[in-house]
Chains A and B, each alone.
Chain A
Amino acid sequence: MRLSRRGLLRAGLAGTAATALGGLASGCAVPTGSTGRNMVLWYWDGGLGDTVLKKARARYDSTVDLQAIKIGGYYRSKLITTMTGRAHIPDIAGLKGEDMASYLPDADQFVDLRTLGAGKYQDQYLPWKWEQGIADDGTMVGFPIDCGPVAHYYQYQVFRRAGLPYEPADVSAELNTWEKFFAAGEQLKKRIPGTSLLTDVNSVFENIVQQGAKRYVDKDRHFIGDQEHVRHAWDLAVQAKRRGIVSDLVTGTPDQISAVDSGKLPSQLGASWASYDIKNGNPRTKGRWRIADMPVRPANNGGSFLSITKACREPEQAFEIVAWMLNAANQASGYVDAGLFPSTPASYELKQLRAPDPFFGGQVTTDVFGPAAQKIAIAYNSPYDVALGQPIKDEIKNVGVLGKDPDQAWSDAMSKCRRIAKHLGVDY
């Protein structure tokens, strides 16, 4: 095939011009922020239930054109970049729970939900969750979507074979301290070789830190990652490694999913949304799982928020939609659609959450997650927690996966934290 140069040139010019002009035209057609009618909402895959979105669109159709856009890739990067560029900022933006603290210093970029009457809804939501969406100066940035109470997932038959307690109530009652939990891990490994109670030491370390009310940096910008609450979590994580109850895999990798499938990991500490992971990643294990309380007290992992940005031209309208989408009834439907565990305790009594789950042998999982969600401590999350928690999490991972000496790892973590703290202006 010989393409003539002239022909190519002509076709190329025409195509390029058309695309460029088309792009320019559409670029002009979509103005910054919203027009009165257009209401743009950003969320991520699995961040909101489909049914709720569809119903919201229909319900408010007469006044606004609600456009829910699912953002792929790194959600927070994209949202922050967009807000930095001050163009095409969504009116309503989902904020992930783990990122929440880092948005709060810039609360002035969001509409204070208190000014829109959020206060009257407060008693319907979990107090600790409500608190997470509020900045230091009292501005309310995030309205609660879901929460992620952590529980102990285990396989009934495996625990039974290993001579461990196997009914959920018994597991909750008997494995209620870390000492008893680790001892159970040793017994499991002895009776059924090749199995591990937990995937990695990080699930011990991070869950223990999450159980408490303190993280790595306090309200006054002091580094507290060297204090007893972190040290305690570290020591227990090291103990888990020493007693050999963790595998050498990394949570969330295909390798781990495969190990769960083959029965090498018959137990894990997972948040409520982890039930979705197991159902999707390991459909063959259906019916084998049960859920019990995690040792000592419940922790939270994940759970997100909706916010209204300053770019929104109709904040009242937006807030009405947000509050409606996240009421108790709709949160129950979000639970069915996307496994989002409600932050509204009233939902726990609704039939969607009372249904026996065949994947968990007919157990009503809300019996575990519901009470757990209501017992979670109110914690202060600092915007510096990510930067100053990371070296510690990295080093405990090195202990767990690479077999690094724990004392060396701790002192490496602390010296790194000292440098970072100084750099970020956090007192050490």
Chain B
Amino acid sequence: MASIKGTRGRGIALHAVLVAGLLLSAFPFYWAVIMSTHTSSEIFSYPPKLLPGSHFAENVRSLFDNIDFFGSMLNSLLVAGSVTFLVLLFDSLAAFVFAKFRFPGRRLLFGLLMLIFMVPTQLAIIPQFVMMAKIGWIGSMTALIVPAAANAFGIFWMRQYMRSAIHDELLDASRIDGAHFLRQYWHVALPVVRPGLAFLGIFTFMGQWNDYAWPLISLTNPDNVTLQVALSQLNGTHGTTDYGMVMTGALLALVPLLIVFAIGAKQIIGDLGKGAIR
């Protein structure tokens, strides 16, 4: 039996380690903030600057002069929001089926899903572009939204999650017809897996928000580029990159993400913490 004093000592040590980890997690953010308040040449001087400089406003101004920051942010919101919504819907439906039902071909289909998960579809970027061009989606955000509307990762993760989170007793095995199935999904499954949805939602939103390679190739119309594509225009060709401005852009691009994260994290932390998975 540990004494109360011993427990407290261990608690303090635990918190010390956790705080150290927290500082390590947070440090690069701090560093990014520092970079965004300096000019490029201040960033590249020795010894490293550890305190904020005075060029933040100037960096913000040249950022807004160079790109349509808020316009492209709106586009990013539309794309990431739509994709997240669709992914949550389609992935959770499929995951529910794989987690809780038996039907012919289930294993085969799930194995296929895992195989697809491993296919590096990003490497088929040229054929994808040619195909999108044929459909006429190049240059529009549809080309970003529709192909991303369901994914193997999300189904895999939600299935793992639902298998333990949804109690079998809750599901009525006797009559499963189409309507009943949907009702089960809506009234039994979804309320229980809310934290899981929040997690997947945040993760999907983040991924879309930060996505870069495909939008860069497929968005040709300057009016509907996403934020990351706009930010990529800040890199000069011949050593003229203004790192202070680039970091300022990257930091400001993070703000909406943090807001979404804070909203969703409440769900994760609140419910996941209460041991919703069991």
Contact = CB atoms under 8 A, between A and B. Distances in A.
B186 A5 contact: yes
B184 interface: no
Interface string A3-17: 001001100110110
Nearest to A31: B136
Contacts of B46: 258, 262
A62 interface: no
A24 B137 CA distance: 7
The prevalent SS among residues of A at the interface is helix
A277 B240 contact: yes
Nearest to B39: A283
B68 to A, nearest CB: 11
A46 B240 contact: yes
Contacts of A257: 40-41, 44, 239
Interface residues on B, range: 35 or more
Given A1-B266, A81-B129, A23 B44 contact: no
A87 B239 contact: no
Contacts of A24: 137, 140, 142
Which of B140, B141, B146, B216 lies at the interface centre, i.e. has the most chain A CB atoms within 10 A of its CB? B140
Interface string B131-150: 01110111111110110000
A254 B217 contact: no
Q: How large is the interface on A (under 10, 10 to 19, 20 to 34, 35 or more residues)?
A: 35 or more
B263 interface: yes
B104 interface: no
Contacts of A26: 139-140, 221, 223-224
A261 B243 contact: no
Interface in A65-106: 69-74, 77-78, 81-82, 84-88
A30 B140 CA distance: 10
A290 to B, nearest CB: 20
Contacts of A88: 133, 138-139, 220-221
A87 B238 contact: no
A1 B126 contact: no
B261 to A, nearest CB: 14
Interface in B188-243: 190-191, 216-217, 220-224, 229-240, 242-243
Contacts of A85: 129-130, 132-134, 138
A283 B238 contact: no
B85 interface: yes
A81 B132 CA distance: 12
Interface in B79-102: 79, 81-82, 85-86, 88-89
B55 to A, nearest CB: 12
A27 interface: yes
A425 interface: no
A119 interface: no
Contact of A45 (B40, B82, B138, B237): B237
Nearest to A86: B133
Contacts of A71: 233
Given A77-B217, A276-B240, A87 B138 contact: yes
Interface in A244-258: 252, 254, 257-258
B122 interface: no
B276 interface: no
B174 interface: no
Given A23-B141, A78-B216, A277 B239 contact: yes
Given A26-B223, A262-B46, 5 more contacts: A16-B82, A27-B140, A85-B133, A85-B138, A87-B133
Interface of B: 39-41, 43-46, 78-79, 81-82, 85-86, 88-89, 125-126, 129-130, 132-134, 136-143, 145-146, 186, 190-191, 216-217, 220-224, 229-240, 242-243, 263, 266
- When A and B form their complex, which 5 residue pairs have the shortest distance between CB atoms, in order from nearest? A85-B133, A72-B233, A12-B85, A277-B239, A72-B232
